[in-house]
Every structure is written in structure tokens, then in C-alpha cells.
Amino acid sequence: MMRPVALLESGASTGVPRLTKLWFGSQSLCGVSMSDALFPTRWQYDKPPPIEEFVRTFPDDYACGGHLAEKRWPDGFVCPHCGSRKGWRLEARPWLWECAGKGDNPKCRKQTSVIAGTFMQGTHLPLNKWFMAAYLMTTHSNSISALQLQPKIGVTYKTAWLLLHKLRRVMVNPERTPLAGNVEADETLIPVTRRMKAAAARLSSSARSRGSAGSRPAGSG
């Protein structure tokens, strides 16, 4: 049986720092934009926090669930079923809140998940793994691959790939506009190995061979 551990009323705090900055687009998370979802105000857009601070802030599901609750209910818990402002958090599943009921519906007791309606809905992964993946993806040089993420958060390659795929999808800003006018771009150097040169030569030779085989002299019948 899941035991309630924290009674939440309107205006009550979960004890987790309010987080307002994230290097994401405008995808919704808990009713607020992704850019307002995961990182504290003190963690500025151009200066990500040290990983040690991030781990201290989000060490487990309880901390992550508490933070998401503050984002979903900035003025305190509100039951979506009966409107009650009293409820408690479940110890075994800290992302779930149970309604305490109110005058005209004292036996509501409906449960509400703070990840319902988000890209994390239905997940079986601990929430702190999602948070850490988002942190690593947005702070890692040139993003991060599933192969790199896998050992860092302790999941399988398939899980890491699916997790990154979901995160990349919600990072897209649906209100983005195409670039216009004069666009400046930095140059970059891409190292080319002997193997890459050999592969390019084979492709070029193959393309020339196909072109020669399919061509005929002009005027030939």
C-alpha cells in the first residue's frame, strides 16, 4: 500500500528549488514551456550549472517529481477532477498525487501524475535519468549520442536512443521561422581519414562507370 508522505495545499512548497531555464524550445511540459521547465533561474541560458550541482538538485524521483509539481501547480495542488486544493504525495511513486477530496466530494481520492501529458508520460525510467539525459544533451559539446549516453545514466543502448529521440522532438520550436537575408555561419574543419578518401574514390569511380555504361555517341541510332 502506498503511504502518503506530503500534504499539499494551495500555495504549499515542495521544498525543491523553482526551476525556470532550459535550453529547449517552446514545447509544453506540465503546462509551461520547456524553456521554463527544468533549470533554476540562477542557471543562466549561456552558463549551464556544474554537473555536481545538477545532481545535488535532482538526486532522485522525489526531487524531480516535486519540481514538476511546482511547475504544474505554481499556486499549489489542484485536483483536475474535483478542484480540491488538498492532496498528498505518494511515497512509492513520488510523481503521483492523490486528492484529499473537498466538501461536496469528500471521497474523490483520484490520483494525478505530474508527468501526464508530457513526453515522459508512461515512462518506466526514473525521472532523474530523464533530467540527467536532458542536462547532458544540452550541455555536451555537439550534443551527445546514444552510445555515449548509455553508460552515463545506466540504460541500454535502445533506451538511450529512444530517450534522445523524444528529447530532440520536444526541442523543436514549432514557432520557428526560416532564416532570411544575409546569414553568417562559422566555418569548421572536418578531418578526412585515408579510409574516407578511399571510400569517396570508390563511389566516384562507380558513378563514372555507370555513366559511361549508359551513354552512347551522339547521332548513334
Does residue 35 belong to any structural domain of this protein? yes
Does residue 197 belong to any structural domain of this protein? no
Query: For residue 51, what is its C-alpha cell?
Result: 554537473
Does residue 221 belong to any structural domain of this protein? no
Element (H, E) at 209: helix 194-213
Range of the domain at 41: 4-171
Looking up cell 526560416 gives 178
The secondary structure of 92-106, three-state, reads: CCCCEEEECCECCEC
Does residue 210 belong to any structural domain of this protein? no
Q: pLDDT per position in the chain (221 positions), as tens?
A: 333 333 333 333 333 333 323 333 333 344 444 444 555 544 545 567 788 988 998 999 889 888 888 888 888 888 888 888 888 788 778 788 888 877 667 778 888 888 888 888 888 899 999 999 988 988 887 778 999 999 999 999 999 999 999 888 887 777 778 888 898 888 777 777 777 778 778 877 776 665 555 555 544 44
Q: At what angle do helices 127-139 and 157-171 cross, to 10 degrees?
A: 70
Q: How many CA atoms lie within 13 A of 10 on its CB side?
A: 5
Q: How many domains does the chain have?
A: 1
Note the pTM of the prediction, 2 decimals: 0.61
Does residue 191 belong to any structural domain of this protein? no
Does residue 41 belong to any structural domain of this protein? yes
